[in-house]
C-alpha cells in the first residue's frame, strides 16, 4: 500500500533552451497520496527517443475465418485482417498488410527454422504450425490457436476437384461469349497485319508488272527466232539445197534442242515445260529486283503467313460444325 509523502518520479520533457529539441529527463515531485494505491512507480525508469513500442500479432478464429491482428508501424495502431483459410494465401496476407499501411516496405513469413514460406501457401497450411511474421525491421513470433474445425486432406482434394469442375462448367456456359471475343481479336489482328503489309503489296504489284512485261518480251523474241529458223531451213531445202543435204542439218538442230532441255533438267531438277520455265524465270527476276529495290521478302512472307493463319482460325471459329472440335482432329 502506498504511504503519504513525496516521491521522485522520472518524467520525459523537452529542452527548449538548446537550438535542437532533444529529449531529456527531469525529476518531478508529486504527492503519492493523490494517486491510486494500485499504481507502483520505479525511480530508475527512463524513456529513449529511439524506443518504439509494438503490440504483438495475434491470430484467432471467428466464424470459421482466420483473423490476424497486425500492428501498423506508421499509424501506431492494430488492424484486423480477415482471411479465408482455404481460398486466401500468404501472398494475400502480405498484400493486405501493405495496403493498410503504405509505410511498410517488406513483409515476410518464416517458419521456426528460418525457412521462408512461399506466397502460394494457403492460410490453413500456414496456421498448422508456429511461424514468424516480419514487418519492416520488426519480427513477431506467432503461435496459432487450435482450429475450430479440422478438415482432413481428402476434403481439400474434394474442394480442388469442385473448383476444377466449376471452372469447366463456367467455360462451357461462356463458349459463345468467348467465341465472340476471339472473333473480334482475330479481326483486329487481320486488320493490323493488312495495314502493315499494304506498302509491300503496292511495291510487289509494281515489280510483278515490270517482270511480266520483260518475260513477254522474251517470249516474243523466242517465237520470232523460231519463225526465222523455220523460214531459213525452208529456203535452204527448196531453193538453195535439196532435202538430202538439209536432213542432217535439221537432225542436229533438233538434237541440240533436246540437249538444251536435258541441261535444264540437270540444273533445275525438274522437267522442262513452258509453265514451269515461266514461273522459274519470274521468281529469279523477282528476287534480283527485290534486292535492287530494297524489298524485304522475309517480312512480307511473315505477314502473309500471319494473315493466312488468322483467316484460317476465323473460318474455323465461324464453322458451327467445328466449334467444339479439337485442333488435332481437324
pLDDT, tens digit (0-9, with 9 covering 90-100), for 13-50? 434 333 434 443 333 433 433 444 433 333 333 332 23
pLDDT, tens digit (0-9, with 9 covering 90-100), for 224-251? 998 998 899 888 888 888 888 888 888 9
In the prediction, which pLDDT does 320 show?
66
Do 125 and 156 meet the contact criterion of CB atoms below 8 Å apart? no
Q: Residue 280 contacts by C-beta under 8 Å, 6 or more apart in sequence? A: 268
Do 79 and 96 meet the contact criterion of CB atoms below 8 Å apart? no
Q: Which of 83, 111, 85, 86 is nearest to 95 (CA)?
A: 83
pLDDT, tens digit (0-9, with 9 covering 90-100), for 252-289? 988 998 898 888 888 888 888 888 888 888 888 889 88
Amino acid at each position: 500500500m502506498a504511504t503519504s509523502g513525496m516521491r521522485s518520479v522520472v518524467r520525459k520533457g523537452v529542452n527548449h533552451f538548446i537550438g535542437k529539441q532533444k529529449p531529456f529527463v527531469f525529476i518531478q515531485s508529486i504527492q503519492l497520496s493523490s494517486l491510486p494505491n494500485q499504481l507502483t512507480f520505479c525511480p530508475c525508469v527512463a524513456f529513449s527517443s529511439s524506443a518504439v513500442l509494438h503490440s504483438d500479432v495475434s491470430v484467432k478464429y471467428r466464424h470459421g475465418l482466420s483473423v490476424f491482428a497486425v500492428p501498423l508501424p506508421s499509424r501506431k495502431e492494430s488492424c484486423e485482417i480477415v482471411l479465408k483459410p482455404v481460398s486466401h494465401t500468404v501472398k494475400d496476407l502480405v498484400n493486405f498488410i501493405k495496403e493498410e499501411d503504405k509505410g511498410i516496405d517488406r513483409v515476410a513469413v518464416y517458419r521456426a527454422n528460418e525457412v521462408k514460406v512461399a506466397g502460394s501457401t494457403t492460410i490453413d497450411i500456414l496456421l498448422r504450425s508456429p511461424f514468424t511474421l516480419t514487418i519492416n525491421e520488426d519480427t513477431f513470433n506467432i503461435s496459432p490457436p487450435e482450429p475450430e474445425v479440422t478438415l482432413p486432406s481428402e476434403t481439400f482434394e474434394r474442394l480442388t476437384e469442385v473448383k476444377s469442375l466449376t471452372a469447366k462448367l463456367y467455360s462451357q456456359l461462356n463458349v459463345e461469349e468467348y467465341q465472340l471475343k476471339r472473333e473480334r481479336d482475330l479481326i483486329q489482328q487481320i486488320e493490323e497485319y493488312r495495314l502493315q503489309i499494304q506498302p509491300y503489296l503496292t511495291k510487289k504489284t509494281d515489280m510483278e508488272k515490270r517482270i511480266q512485261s520483260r518475260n513477254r518480251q522474251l517470249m516474243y523474241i523466242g517465237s520470232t527466232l523460231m519463225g526465222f529458223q523455220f523460214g531459213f531451213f525452208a529456203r535452204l531445202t527448196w531453193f538453195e539445197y535439196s532435202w538430202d543435204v538439209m536432213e542432217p542439218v535439221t537432225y542436229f538442230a533438233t538434237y541440240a534442242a533436246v540437249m538444251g532441255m536435258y541441261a535444264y533438267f540437270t540444273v533445275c531438277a525438274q522437267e522442262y515445260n513452258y509453265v514451269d520455265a515461266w514461273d522459274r524465270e519470274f521468281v529469279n527476276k523477282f528476287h534480283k529486283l527485290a534486292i535492287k529495290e530494297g524489298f524485304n521478302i522475309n517480312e512480307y512472307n511473315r505477314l502473309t503467313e500471319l494473315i493466312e493463319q488468322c483467316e484460317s482460325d476465323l473460318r474455323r471459329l465461324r464453322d458451327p460444325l467445328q466449334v467444339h472440335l479439337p485442333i488435332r482432329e481437324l
